[in-house]
Amino acid sequence: MRRKWWTSAVLVAAGATLGAHISGCFFVAPDCTLGMCLDALPPGEGGGGSSNAACEAEPTEDASAVVDECAVFASASAAPGGDGTKAKPYASLSEAIANANGKRVLACAGGAFAESVTIGAEVEVIGGFDCGAGWTWSEEARSAIEAPANQIALTLSEGASGAKVRSFAVRAASATEVGGSSIGVAVADIDAELAQVDVTAGDGMDGEKGEAPAEPPQAGAPAGAVSNACAAVFGGEAGVTTCEDGETSGGRGGFGGSPGMEEGNGLRGEDGAPLPEENPDAYGLGGAGQTGAAGNCRRGEDGAPGASGVAGAAGSGTVLTLAGIGGGDGGHGTSGKRG
């Protein structure tokens, strides 16, 4: 990206000089060619060659890239009205980013930029330079961004895809507005790089208290005739009888409540189990709940009688004596079947 920008800059500078030559302005110098004297141009306007290659170097490693031709400079301790050069850096980091025009932005580590900074383009912003020592870079040093309360300290918006931020301490002040937040860095859904960036956020602030309802609460419906809540509101658990061939259980009692009401109140008890396949005598059915204030609940029907047990085995060991005939004890009959 930077190489493309610098190519454009050389073309613009050359065109401006050629225009001056056509209008009759000649430069007399041994190095002038075709009327264009590049060494007579103001600093930073013209040239090229090795200077373009120098801008591709890493400024944290190569001081040749820490020059006005390759970067825009910012210092929080600089005087207002700077032009972004190394000698007169911008006092605002936001102003330096807005005027980068394809160059890197290099920031001093001394002082703090008291502002909310937004990056909206692909730009490389590097802090950690000691502007009092020839703009030398230190890996441990950090340039600081300290945003005012209730503002995001550093924002990378949708247009900042490809942006790089390095060697910064970003601090957001605690919120002072009701319900406000303290946000150090906010990044849109983009590809960006933040390296050696320390982020510190303050405290958010509590939201507003809830308002009292404008209308009085709605009155509840009258209780009516209800059963005593201290009595057995829930029906009793079903009893279970275990036989050799399975279990027989009664039904759980129905829910108590307001007489005459359904939907879980005053319901009949559950049927026992298992019920006969044909049940004309209504064996094992649950009893009805109370249907009136003066009425009583009815117990459930008994289960069907169980089938008779198998007859016991015949006795043995019968003997004939002079005293009479005596038989041995018969065996026990088997248990009856479940109803």
Which has the closest alpha carbon to 192: 158, 144, 232, 151? 158
List of residues 6+ apart from 199 with CB closer than 8 A: 153, 170, 171, 184, 185
Confidence class for position 153, pLDDT limits 50, 70, 90? very high
- For the stretch 169-223, pLDDT in tens is 999 999 999 999 999 999 999 999 999 999 999 999 999 888 888 887 777 656 5
Q: Which residue has the higher pLDDT, 138 or 23?
A: 138
Mean pLDDT of 84-101: 97
Supply the DSSP symbol for 339: -
State both tokens at 15.
């065109």
Of 90 and 292, the structure prediction assigns the larger pLDDT to 90
pLDDT at 148: 95
Let me know: does 141 contact 174? Beta carbons within 8 Å: no
Is residue 268 within 8 Å of residue 297, measured between CB atoms?
no
Residue 280 CA: distances (Å) to CA of 245, 249, 269, 276, 304: 24, 20, 19, 9, 11
What residue ranges do the domains of the chain occupy? 1-48, 59-200, 229-291
Peptide bond into 274 cis (omega under 30): yes
CA–CA distance, 143 with 108 (Å, rounded to integer):
6
Identify the residue with better confidence: 121 or 46.
Answer: 121
Give mean pLDDT, residues 232-238.
62
The CB density around residue 235, as the number of other CB atoms within 10 Å, is 19
Q: What is the pLDDT of residue 190?
A: 96
Identify whether the C-beta of residue 327 lies closer than 8 Å to the C-beta of residue 334. no
Give me the sign of the Cα torsion angle 278, 280, 283, 286.
positive
Q: What is the per-residue pLDDT across 247-265, written as a single tens digit (0 to 9) for each?
A: 777 767 666 665 555 554 5
Residue 141 identity (one-letter amino acid): A
Greatest mean pLDDT range, 185-194, 271-280, 299-308: 185-194
Residue 275 has pLDDT above 90, yes or no: no
Confidence (pLDDT) at 29 = 35
Q: Within 10 A of 201 (CB to CB), how many other CB atoms are there?
A: 18
Distance CA 322, CA 220 (A): 94
The answer, yes or no, to whether residue 88 has pLDDT greater than 90, is yes
* pLDDT at res. 6: 31
What's residue 53's pLDDT?
A: 81
The percent of residues in the chain predicted with pLDDT above 90, rounded, is 45
pLDDT for the residue 218: 72
> Is residue 93 classed as helix, strand or coil in its secondary structure?
helix
Question: pLDDT band at residue 43, thresholds of 50, 70 and 90?
Answer: very low
